[in-house]
Chains A and B, each alone.
Chain A
Amino acid sequence: MSSSIQDIARTVKAEFARMTGSGCSFADARLYDEDSSEYLMLYDGNLEANTARLERGIGVRVLKAGAWGFAATANLAAIPQCFDRALANSVAAAKLLGFPRDMGKGKASKGSYHSPVKDDPFEVPLADKLDFLKRADAALVAPHVAHRITQANFQRRKVFYWNTEGTEVDRWQLNTFGMLMVMAPDKEGRNQRRSHELCGDGCGTRGFEWLADPKCFGANAESIKNELAQLLAAENLPPKRRDVILLPGMGFLQVHETIGHALELDRILGYELSFAGGSHVRPEMIGKLKYGSKKLNARAGIVENSPGTFGFDDEGTPQRDYLLIDKGILVNVLSSRTDLGEANAKAGRTVVTDSGTAARSCAFYRPPIDRMTNINIDPGNDGTLEDIVKATKDGVIVDVPVSWSIGSNREHFHFGCEIAWEVIDGKRTKIFKNATYHGHTLEFWGALDKVGSKETWCLRQVPNCGKGEPNQIMELGHGIPVMRFANVETGEKE
């Protein structure tokens, strides 16, 4: 810890004493000593984004009389005033108090987390990164490709966390994202696209070396160009009910939208109603609700190489790995410490016992809220994609979202996909464009009838999950196998 951080820590601890003396039951502080980001984007070979950014500041929370107050400032000379603001906010909130907020019993944590990285992208010279992207972009050039996008973005955060229970943890987190996309007008003159995002098996390191690994990124250029060429000559997916096979590139968003968000405890308790929405899940359903078929095992997992792995959450709680849905039954939810008592009271029994270590904030100027971590589907035993295709009489394989629209309680959904492969009598036949499917969450997950084995499991990154007020963009991961769902409404009836 540098001397300036030690000075800030001393100031924060003095403020903790002052807040506790003012009647606060809990207080915490998150110092973002460094929050760096870099975004590079080539559009048709032109460097349209060449942006670096640095944020530095502190966010503090105080809990007094069961009410939270939060304040943030970039002025690190004004930390006492920041605590004053948070305290005033807490006092004001206590005037209209519902279920008193309570952190429960806490245990002091000490420790550090460091993302697994070989080559820190912020230490790689810009010219080298651009040279890499230029070569990746050149691989997308083809006569049938009208437009192409090659992009990378990097984040590096050094966060120090302290609370009044004696917790002192720090995180050095690094994220690397990359995307390749090709676009062209189809035979009707309407744009089609095919893309690939940096992904992997959840192991290894997540620095610049990951982006530079051809099998995870650059080598996908050929396949997306080839598939775009086929899309340009393809027909729209004819509407009908059929089986739907989700590749991990599509399945991750299905999980994200209809399991992940639906199981955030703050949504379940109604704290997101005015913006993101609520949930079809109620606290009393935990432990009882049949969320899906027996093939469905979903977890908040710890994956070595993922933006959803962070060591300690933004309440300083060590991240843990636990099941959310066990053989189709809802057994847990995504939570932080603060809402557990309310959930149990509303359920009329104990439905949650420990923090789901899902308290996360996206910046020093945003308070922690219940967020996804790595929301994964455990691999099944139905073999490879080809095994599942062979077992399908009338279906369609879909990949990569183009659009997503979800009901406000996550009870129904509509997805558009970049590409679809028809499957008839166990064989892929042809490619369709403008593929869509829609359904109702519990019915859909209840129709899960094939789950691919470990070799189909893939870690997809989400760099842009939006939630909360004030709004927050969060990074997370989903480890997903190939999944098949029976008898789903697909395509659009004109």
Chain B
Amino acid sequence: MLESRIRDLLCTARDEAKKQGINAEFSFHREHSSLIRLGNSAIALSTFEDLTRLDISVFDGRKTGDYGLTADIVSLDQLRSALKKAHDNAQAALPKDYEPIFGVVEKTIDDAGGYDPALENLSPEAKGDLCAKVVKTMKPKGNYDFSGSWSSGSTEMYLTTTANSNEAYRKLTDGRLVLVLKEQDKKWELSVEQPGRAAKDFSADAAIREFEAMLPVYEKNPGFRAQLGHQRVMFGPQSISQLMALAIWSGFGGRAWEEKRAFTSENKPGDMLLSDLVTIGDDPTNANVYRMPFDYKGIARKAFPIVEKGVFKALMYDSATAAKYGKKPTGHDVGSGDFVFAPGSGKPGIAAGLATAGDALYIPYLHYIGLPDPARGMFTGSSRFNARQVKGGEFVAPMCSTRVTDTIPNVLSHVIAVSSKSEFFDVSATYGRRTPEAVSVPEYIICDNVRINDVADGF
């Protein structure tokens, strides 16, 4: 549970608010973050941030107001002042035309199962040593430069409201190592990623093995320019996570659906929308994700099917959308989900995927996705790291940067194979507060009829 000094302050502030008849939600966030950035085979930057944040929301009937602080929490007076500001904001607010949902922590949760002190305290020296091993092993073998980043740290989240005395607390560690090898003359870029919950999850040897497995095709062959038009594509973990996120947010968010902005807006639960090889859900019990046990309204999260064997199962409602449209919130007032693309029956291993694909484009990363027409689920993005041409079930050439512009319903309706092996893939961003997020995705899916509409000369 949260350290007693801060917890006592927060509970006292909560109880004082209750005595004054103020409905308030208190959300506390603390992070210890460190990151090294690698550039030109050297550590370009090493950072450490020790940050605490407090967010207070006050509900006054149909009026709400919020106030947040990023500052050291040192006194009750500081909390009283922040509560007053949130209360003042609520009092000055315009009333909504619906009854907003006030947060109730359903049950006390104390979850530190994902915490590894060794990862929280992983030193920049240790990170530098691992990176140095990769660089010093690989660099002499070619005209390579390395870049990358390695973020790691701990996050604590704590929630309590004046609705009751329950407290929801979570402490976990997460890390993500990204290494990029760039060939300086030919300009192609390879990437290896390692996500981790514990310090032991990171390995220089594994990274070296992955690079070495990819290099021969890149070293021996010129760049391949894919033909424009519709092609068979084998997607890898990052691109699958992108496709899944696009499907979820442009298809199965309650507000987008209610307001006819979703590609599913003309459909209803029970409709067959995608290939029967596609099953997607939000599952905080899955071993491959960071498992957020509660949302920011205090709802204890549980497995939530979204698409099952291609069939539209349910929509996700955050509390504001649920209140507005008279629905029940589904535990999706979250900074991050626990999304899972279920494994299929395809043989495990990339080699088995290639054999199934035959002739195809392998696009494991989709870079910088845009949504030109979200109501149709239309997306566009380009290949990046590790993309290769597949011919006769084998990698034969590195691919020049290739743009995919298609719709989610089309791509996910033409799935012909899904690997039976799942991967833990970290999708955390470090914008604002540390918010660990991972997805569980198959190591590959193969889709037919994917539209390629541009190819660059370079990688």
Contact = CB atoms under 8 A, between A and B. Distances in A.
A127 interface: yes
Contacts of B127: 92
Interface in A241-287: 266, 269-275, 277-278, 280
A20 interface: no
A172 B175 CA distance: 36
B408 interface: no
Given A51-B66, A68-B44, A95-B43, 20 more contacts: A52-B68, A70-B48, A71-B49, A72-B47, A74-B51, A75-B50, A89-B46, A94-B43, A95-B129, A96-B41, A126-B93, A183-B259, A185-B260, A271-B37, A274-B38, A402-B371, A403-B371, A411-B458, A470-B49, A489-B454
A365 interface: yes
Nearest to A92: B124
12 contacts: A50-B93, A74-B50, A76-B72, A89-B46, A92-B128, A93-B36, A190-B260, A190-B375, A274-B147, A365-B70, A469-B151, A471-B432
A469 B430 contact: yes
A365 B49 contact: yes
A492 B68 contact: no
Nearest to B66: A51
Interface in B226-277: 259-261, 265-266
B47 A89 contact: yes
Contact of B384 (A96, A365, A408): A408
Interface in B349-405: 367-376, 378, 380-382, 384, 401, 403, 405
Interface stretch (B7-15, B20-28, B178-186, B195-203): B178-186
A407 interface: yes
Contacts of A409: 401, 458-459
Given A52-B67, A69-B46, A93-B46, A88 B124 contact: yes
B180 A274 contact: yes
Interface in B198-219: none
B327 interface: no
A101 B374 CA distance: 44
Contact of B375 (A95, A130, A191, A471): A191
B279 interface: no
B303 interface: no
A223 interface: no
A455 interface: no
B308 interface: no
A85 B401 CA distance: 40
A404 B151 CA distance: 27
Contact of B50 (A72, A89, A125, A273): A72
Contacts of B459: 409
Interface in B421-459: 429-432, 453-454, 456-459
Interface stretch (A327-335, A374-382, A432-440, A445-453): A432-440
B132 interface: yes
Interface in A72-102: 72-77, 85-86, 88-90, 92-99, 101
A51 B453 contact: no
B287 interface: no
B401 A408 contact: yes
B31 to A, nearest CB: 10
Main secondary structure of the interface of B (DSSP, over half): strand
A416 interface: yes
A64 to B, nearest CB: 11
A54 B70 contact: yes
A232 to B, nearest CB: 12
Contact of B94 (A134, A402, A436, A438): A134
Interface string A13-38: 00000000000000000000001000
Interface centre among A53, A125, A127 (most CB of B within 10 A): A53
A75 B48 CA distance: 14
A183 B373 CA distance: 13
Nearest to A81: B50
8 smallest beta-carbon distances between A and B, as pairs: A98-B42, A416-B372, A403-B370, A92-B124, A89-B46, A190-B375, A405-B370, A271-B39
A331 B63 CA distance: 55
Given A45-B97, A75-B50, A271-B147, A469 B37 contact: yes
B382 A70 contact: no
A414 B98 contact: no
Interface string A165-201: 0000000000000000001010001110000000000
A111 B38 CA distance: 35
A308 interface: no
A290 interface: no
Given A408-B384, A470-B151, A473-B431, A414 B370 contact: yes
Interface in A438-494: 438, 440, 466, 469-473, 489, 492-493
Given A406-B368, A438-B403, A438-B454, A414 B47 contact: no
A402 B47 CA distance: 35
Nearest to A126: B92
A45 B43 CA distance: 50
A35 B182 CA distance: 39
A127 B92 contact: yes
Given A53-B69, A74-B52, A412 B401 contact: yes
Contacts of B97: 45-46
A96 B43 contact: yes
A471 B176 CA distance: 14
Interface centre among A47, A189, A493 (most CB of B within 10 A): A47
Given A92-B46, A99-B42, A270-B40, A414 B403 contact: yes
A146 interface: yes
A408 B72 contact: no
B189 to A, nearest CB: 7
A189 B266 contact: yes
A237 to B, nearest CB: 11
A295 interface: no
B65 interface: yes
B40 A98 contact: yes
B47 A71 contact: yes
Contacts of A92: 36, 43, 46, 123-125, 127-128
B328 interface: no
A110 interface: no
A99 B149 contact: no
Given A50-B93, A52-B67, A68 B49 contact: no
Nearest to A101: B44
Contacts of B179: 274
B288 interface: no
Nearest to A49: B66
A414 B372 contact: yes
A408 B382 contact: yes
Contacts of B378: 492
